[in-house]
Amino acid sequence: MLLHIDASKHAWFQDDRYYDLISILDDATSEIYYAQLVEEEGTRTLLPALREVIEKQGLFCALYSDRATHFFVTPKAGGKVDLQRLTQLGRALNELGIKMIPAYSPQARGRMERSYRTWQGRLPQELRVRGIQTAEQANRFLREEYIGEFNRRFAVMPAQRGSAFVRTRRKDLDWVFSIQHQRTVNQDNTIALDNRILQIEKSRWRNTLAGCTVTVHEFLDGSMAIRFGPHQVARFDPQALPEPLPKKSKSPRPLSHRRSAA
């Protein structure tokens, strides 16, 4: 089973505000499984989209996308992607056994382009008629009404009855869909991430992890955790995260002394 994912930047409210509309659709039926407006397409907005589809529908075989940097690493501009070097999205889907397929030509992405022409022609008018002026209101409308109406109007019947999705029983989707970073623990049992210093407290089984490599997980709800192997050694709620350290400003270069001309 193949799904397509993409985003379209457009003035959805017919003013000077531009949002990306992320959508995920079925290759066989054109059914929309997800559609939401976000400030910008990227890892932090695509991970929640994919997780929602997997939780509601189930696991699928493959995901088809463009070669943007949040999907693939492309060593040479315009060249082949490196399937061995995974992005955060690539790593998450690989853990779930979902294959990622890159598009190499505009023609190959024709399904999504045609879908977005329909979106751009219809959705702004629907928002205007209903007096919807914010992304929050628009996303609620998309979830509660418009996706269902869109699918009734434009989705086609599958060639075979039944669903190709496989329900997942995994209980670790919070971890799978986290943004992960490898860090080496400092001598004072801390690690640095995004200009923050995160403290790892002593545990009953080990006083210090100095010199060890740990994995920092940034969860979709804004919280963080640190893992050493299978062990969670620290957890931080969004409100309890330490404030970022002030960035050091570059010291101005001293003016060289120049003798005045005689």
Summarize the confidence of residues 108-134 as an average pLDDT.
87
For residue 94, tell me if it sits in a domain.
yes
User: Are residues 187 and 102 part of one domain?
Assistant: no
CATH code of 72's domain? 3.30.420.10
pLDDT of 259 > 90? The answer is no
Q: Minimum mean pLDDT among 19-28, 30-39, 137-146, 151-160: which range?
A: 151-160
For residue 261, tell me if it sits in a domain.
no
User: Are residues 135 and 10 part of one domain?
Assistant: yes
* 217-247: pLDDT as tens digits: 999 999 999 999 999 999 999 988 888 877 7
Give the range of the structural domain holding residue 198, as residue numbers without chain letter.
Answer: 178-240
* 123-136: pLDDT as tens digits: 999 999 999 999 99
Query: Domain tally for the chain?
Result: 2
Q: Return the pLDDT at 256.
A: 45
User: Are residues 206 and 100 part of one domain?
Assistant: no
Q: Minimum mean pLDDT among 113-117, 230-234, 248-252: which range?
A: 248-252
pLDDT of 158 > 80? The answer is no
Mind giving me the DSSP string for 216-251? EEE-TTS-EEEEETTEEEEEE-GGGSPPPPPPPPPP
For residue 222, tell me if it sits in a domain.
yes
**What's the rounded Cα separation, in Å, for the pair 38 and 41?**
7
User: Are residues 110 and 190 part of one domain?
Assistant: no
User: Are residues 205 and 127 part of one domain?
Assistant: no
Summarize the confidence of residues 16-25 as an average pLDDT.
96
User: Are residues 183 and 124 part of one domain?
Assistant: no
User: Are residues 190 and 144 part of one domain?
Assistant: no
User: Are residues 224 and 117 part of one domain?
Assistant: no
* 56-101: pLDDT as tens digits: 999 999 999 999 999 999 998 878 999 999 999 999 999 999 999 9
State which H helix or E strand residue 38 sits in.
strand 32-38
